A and B are shown apart, each in its own frame.
Chain A
Amino acid sequence: MARQAPVRDVAPTVQRLRMRYAKRGRLRFTSTRDFQRALERALRRTGVPMAYSQGFNPHPRISYTNAAPTGTASEAEYVELAVTTELDPEAVRAALDAALPPGLDVLEVVAVRSPDFAERLEASVWVIELPGVGRETATAAVAAFLAAGDVPVQRLTKSGMRSFDARGPVVRLEVRPDAPGAEDADGAPCAILDLVVRHVTPSVRPDDVLAALRLVADLVPPVPSRVTRLAQGPLVADASVGAAMDAVTDPLAPDRG
């Protein structure tokens, strides 16, 4: 007789919480799984009454959407939690932020009031710093990229090596005009790119765009780039004007009521 998974009285979900968190500094090297473990442990330490799944290995009901790749920083990562008691979102935010290490920073928590959150994450705004790359070089490479019809690149995905177009989903790519920050602390050039990409499958990530720049313009940064996701959300109607940052709107707006 095979043992049955015990049927437990698992408390029902009474509230869903959406949270935005940042992955900063040295903790940008955490992977999605690293963050998941850290979050689950932080939830247990803070005593957030999580809703659990049934079965032999019950796990807390958490959904992760669209996490930034290992090695890239982010100001806009989103997670949804199901809890069994109605909680004060701000108290949860403060408790989780304190329980997670500095660098994994919980920025906002709101109670869910609207469905279809994943669909709202239409695009990402990224900033790519390229230490050792001059502005002229970067500008030429970006121009070549934008002029190209499509730029097939390859990446190892979960389903094996995939080839896909890195150009199509790019809504904007531009080199920041000379501004403080366009140079490294020690005076070496450091071009900064603003990138807005529509989310498609397979997703086009900043490293794919960099691979594309290498293909179309031989742009090979001498040292690894520093990449940060600044925002994700619904694309505005005319995403090609104004500041790159304004190309998407706040995806949590409908939950704020």
Chain B
Amino acid sequence: MPVESVFPQLEALLPLVTKPVQYVGGELNAVTKPWDSVSVHWALMYPDAYEVGVPNQGVQILYEVLNEHPDALAERTYAVWPDLERLMREHGVPQFTVDGHRPVGAFDLLGLSFSTELGYTNMLTALDLAGVPIHARDRDESHPVVVAGGHAAFNPEAIADFVDAAVLGDGEQAVLAITEIVRGWKSEGRPGGREELLLRLARTGGVYVPSFYDVDYLPDGRIQRVAPNRPGVPWRVAKHTVMDLDEWPYPKAPLVPLAESVHERMSVEIFRGCTRGCRFCQAGMITRPVRERSARTIAEMVDNGLAKTGYEEVGLLSLSSADHSEIAVIAKGLADRYEGTETGLSLPSTRVDAFNIELANELTRNGRRSGLTFAPEGGSERMRKVINKMVTEEDLIRTVATAYGNGWRQVKLYFMCGLPTETDDDVLQIAELASRVIETGRQVSGTKDIRCTVSIGGFVPKPHTPFQWAAQLDHETTDARLRKLRDAIRADRRYGKSIGFRYHDGRPGIVEGLLSRGDRRVGAVIEQVWRSGARFDGWSEHFSFDAWMAAAETAFAGQPVDVDWFTTRERDQAEVLPWDHLDSGLDKDWLWEDWQDALADVEVEDCRWSPCFDCGVCDQMGTEIQVGPSGSTLLGMPALPPRGAGLVASAADR
């Protein structure tokens, strides 16, 4: 049965909303397959505004991998702004995909990509607009199977009521495996209905189906145990790890939107994983081990991507790009290759060392040296030991001196506030550090025309990290500490004018903390706040802390837990954590030891250049570190095509 486009109904509403172009699709390299040509239909959603969601690499990759499958198709959908939501409700227009403008409710699967928890309310809006019951238990065979992925899916308990399933880790192979299972079940005539399909998925051990697990609680509110409630459903569900990224050079045809997005450049992921071991960093912990792409594959992806998109800038992405074993070859090779063209290259630079600046210099050979970003994260040397960010103050000063000496005019420093064991003094040291940065910068550059910006936000403890047991700092203390820091910077007569200060207030972090370390009881809060109108919680102009607290008050009434219990409470070793049955590979005992080391200011090395310290991942997941140097080079790559080939006027035309 063909599924009709809802565009004609939508079109009449578009002149009435802001930025209508975000709803029309038409991206370069988008694919729309005929509905009946395949048996498995995926809708993929990045649950934020189109301008934020469309550049997301995760969705672009899965979109392409699925559309390459001969028997599957994938289309994309994004959160609609409240002005369009209102009109869609009024005129009965359902949540739609931007590719074929097909109603999301008609798809077999709805895959959601959560890089942050603040997209949860937008998921509920989308489900509701799609005509899909928001509670998984109310869905029947006619509704899509709702699957969560992305980093936040490593603890999907807060959204367990709303999703049918969650997938941990890399999605490339996982979505293909799910596709096979759905396809088989459909071709057999859907035996056993939705329950049987979910069972088949759950029994693989690689798809978490929350409804197949019961959670029991102790009278004091802690979890007693989480146990499967169906035969054949495993006790723990494992994450997915794609090995050999050279075999998966996606996206091969990156999407180029017509509308302006937050990320106006092409991205090439140069490696996955990170073993620097920063204790606050969930991304680093859950994506282990490090798997590099070779220099050659990266260069080919850059070439191919530029040819297919026409982008002018390429970002070389990863969790810590300067750590790639072949980064010097890559940076020099690409800078040579694109010298004299208008193509710009960038590294998200955060590593605090001189090598990083060499790379940045290479990549900006003839461009503007505007700003460099470093992330010491902790204000004092002691704090940096606690979080395992091994940077001394001397390193930092030397690094910024090199930067200013090389013509960089602006240095941005990223910090966090509210780290475990932190005191006011640890944060106030940032002011002194910033003064030293400016002092040194003026000396080496010989000009007063340099700036340093301090950017600081509240720390939120995350699951699957050594800080998963830590107490989050309450927002009042966070805000007070940040005010003291601001005052200290302002009071600096000599250098204060050259120091910018940007901070995020502590309240959104409390909601993020509630959601990220929440258990199933938090679902009621999400539902409640969404019913009271919460949308786009990642946007300060839409976010309402008071609405969240009011919703929590109602939803937790009569329970032994509240917002503080989930956020500012320290957990002890014996406590069953809501995500213990979700296996990131990290050994819980190792994480605990690392937490104890943090409290004792003890640092741990990176396993890429020191012996394995048994974090548990490689053993548990059957993976291994894949780092170069691969020895590959850019030599022998075909020359860039000359401009204007095929367009030149022949002599006869002149």
Contact = CB atoms under 8 A, between A and B. Distances in A.
27 contacts: A2-B449, A3-B407, A30-B258, A31-B21, A41-B309, A41-B310, A41-B311, A41-B312, A45-B309, A47-B642, A47-B647, A49-B643, A58-B342, A70-B21, A71-B14, A84-B643, A85-B647, A86-B648, A86-B654, A87-B649, A88-B650, A91-B647, A95-B646, A99-B310, A101-B258, A103-B26, A223-B12
Contacts of B653: 88
Contacts of B407: 3
A117 B402 CA distance: 51
A88 B649 contact: yes
B11 interface: yes
B231 interface: no
Interface string B623-654: 00000000000000000011111111110011
A34 B310 contact: no
A70 B20 CA distance: 9
A147 B256 CA distance: 49
Contact of A29 (B20, B306, B342, B646): B20
Q: How large is the interface on A (under 10, 10 to 19, 20 to 34, 35 or more residues)?
A: 35 or more
Contacts of A56: 367-368
A63 interface: no
B540 interface: no
A103 B654 CA distance: 31
A224 B654 contact: no
B139 interface: no
A224 B26 contact: no
Interface of B: 7, 11-12, 14-16, 20-21, 23-28, 256, 258-260, 264, 306-312, 340, 342, 366-369, 407, 446-447, 449, 641-650, 653-654
Nearest to A89: B649
Contact of A47 (B256, B258, B368, B643): B643
A71 B14 CA distance: 8
Task: Pick from A37, A48, A87 the residue with the most CB of B within 10 Å.
Answer: A37
A59 B21 CA distance: 25
B419 to A, nearest CB: 37
A46 B643 CA distance: 8
B646 A91 contact: yes
Contacts of B643: 47-49, 84-85
Contacts, number: 117
Nearest to B23: A29
Nearest to B13: A224
A20 to B, nearest CB: 18
A101 B26 contact: yes
B308 A45 contact: yes
Given A31-B21, A43-B310, A95 B366 contact: no
Interface string A2-18: 11011010000000000
B13 to A, nearest CB: 8
A191 B597 CA distance: 77
A164 interface: no
B310 A224 contact: no
B21 A34 contact: yes
B488 to A, nearest CB: 30
B26 A88 contact: no
Given A48-B647, A92-B647, A26 B15 contact: no
Contacts of B308: 45
A79 interface: no
Contacts of A86: 648-649, 654
Closest 10 CB pairs of A and B: A41-B310, A224-B15, A49-B643, A44-B310, A45-B310, A49-B644, A29-B20, A26-B24, A56-B368, A88-B649
B26 A47 contact: no
A95 B647 contact: yes
A101 B24 CA distance: 12
Given A29-B20, A29-B24, 20 more contacts: A3-B407, A8-B366, A26-B7, A26-B24, A27-B24, A29-B14, A29-B21, A33-B260, A34-B258, A34-B259, A40-B310, A40-B312, A41-B256, A43-B310, A44-B306, A47-B641, A47-B646, A87-B644, A88-B650, A91-B648
B446 A1 contact: yes
A57 interface: yes
Task: Pick from B12, B21, B307, B648 the residue with the most CB of A within 10 Å.
Answer: B21
A30 B310 contact: no
Task: Pick from B264, B447, B642, B647 the residue with the most CB of A within 10 Å.
Answer: B647
A223 B260 CA distance: 27
Task: Pick from B11, B26, B645 the residue with the most CB of A within 10 Å.
Answer: B26
B649 A26 contact: no
Nearest to A38: B258
Contacts of B645: 47
A137 B15 CA distance: 23
B366 A88 contact: no
A170 interface: no
Interface of A: 1-3, 5-6, 8, 26-27, 29-31, 33-34, 37-38, 40-49, 52, 56-58, 60, 70-71, 83-88, 91-92, 95, 99, 101, 103, 223-224
A194 B169 CA distance: 58
Nearest to B408: A3
B20 A71 contact: yes
A171 to B, nearest CB: 26
Given A45-B309, A46-B647, A6 B259 contact: no
Contacts of A29: 14, 20-21, 23-24
B25 A87 contact: no
Contacts of B12: 223-224
Contacts of B259: 30, 34
Given A48-B647, A70-B21, A1 B16 contact: no
Contacts of B11: 26
Task: Pick from A40, A44, A49, A57 the residue with the most CB of B within 10 Å.
Answer: A44
B20 A47 contact: no
Nearest to A101: B26
Nearest to B8: A185
A163 to B, nearest CB: 23
A3 B256 CA distance: 33
Contacts of A57: 368
A1 B447 contact: yes
Given A26-B7, A26-B11, A224-B16, A88 B24 contact: no
A101 B28 contact: yes
B21 A6 contact: no
A6 B260 CA distance: 29
B303 to A, nearest CB: 13
Task: Pick from A38, A58, A95, A99 the residue with the most CB of B within 10 Å.
Answer: A38
A37 B260 contact: yes
A103 B28 CA distance: 12
A61 to B, nearest CB: 12
Contacts of A1: 446-447
A26 B367 CA distance: 37
A92 B647 CA distance: 6
Task: Pick from A2, A47, A57 the residue with the most CB of B within 10 Å.
Answer: A47
A128 to B, nearest CB: 13
B101 to A, nearest CB: 9
Contacts of A46: 647
B16 to A, nearest CB: 6
A253 to B, nearest CB: 20
Task: Pick from A29, A91, A95, A101 the residue with the most CB of B within 10 Å.
Answer: A29
A44 B308 CA distance: 10
Contacts of B647: 46-49, 85, 87-88, 91-92, 95
A3 B370 CA distance: 10
Contacts of B646: 47, 91, 95
Contacts of B310: 40-45, 99
A107 to B, nearest CB: 18
A27 to B, nearest CB: 6
Task: Pick from A1, A43, A86 the residue with the most CB of B within 10 Å.
Answer: A86
A83 B164 CA distance: 56
A6 B366 contact: yes
